[in-house]
Amino acid sequence: MVTLIVGKKGTGKTKKLINLTNEAVENSNGNVIVIEKGSKLTYDVTHKARLIDTEQYSITGFDAFFGFLSGLCAGNYDLTDVLVDSTLKIGGQDFVQFADFIEKINVLAAKTETKFTFLVSADESELPKSLDAVAVKI
């Protein structure tokens, strides 16, 4: 399952991500991973979730990001939840590429039975309509 938390800067997306992370850790029988660009969530996210900074791995672009997420799923058979902050800062501002990325993630999520949540700093009207078929927006 793929979930998008959509909204402009300052609308409380990161706070939702932190709450969802804490809920996922409490309810998961496996691993929960939080991915961010930079290390601003270090003290906000529970230590029971694994925090990954994409800058440490030089991840730029949606293709590299998809490869990274696929690798995480391949290497962690008990991965249940992946939550991503700053999605467009990691992958780029091209909404067509973003929609293609989310479609591929939807397939990966189904194959690996992993829940993916992405924070998207944009107005919902800016996103392609094709995302409605593959992701839940909150």
Give the CATH number for residue 14.
3.40.50.300
pLDDT at position 96 is 93
Q: How many domains are contained in the chain?
A: 1
Beta bridge partners of 119: 5
pLDDT of residue 97: 95
At residue 133, the pLDDT reads 67
pLDDT at 105: 96
Domain range holding 88? 2-137
Dist. CA 8–CA 74, nearest whole Å: 33
Instruction: With a cut of 50, list the residues of the chain below it in pLDDT.
Output: none
Sheet (strand 50-53) strand order: 50-53, 31-36, 79-84, 115-121, 2-7, 136-137
pTM over 0.95: no
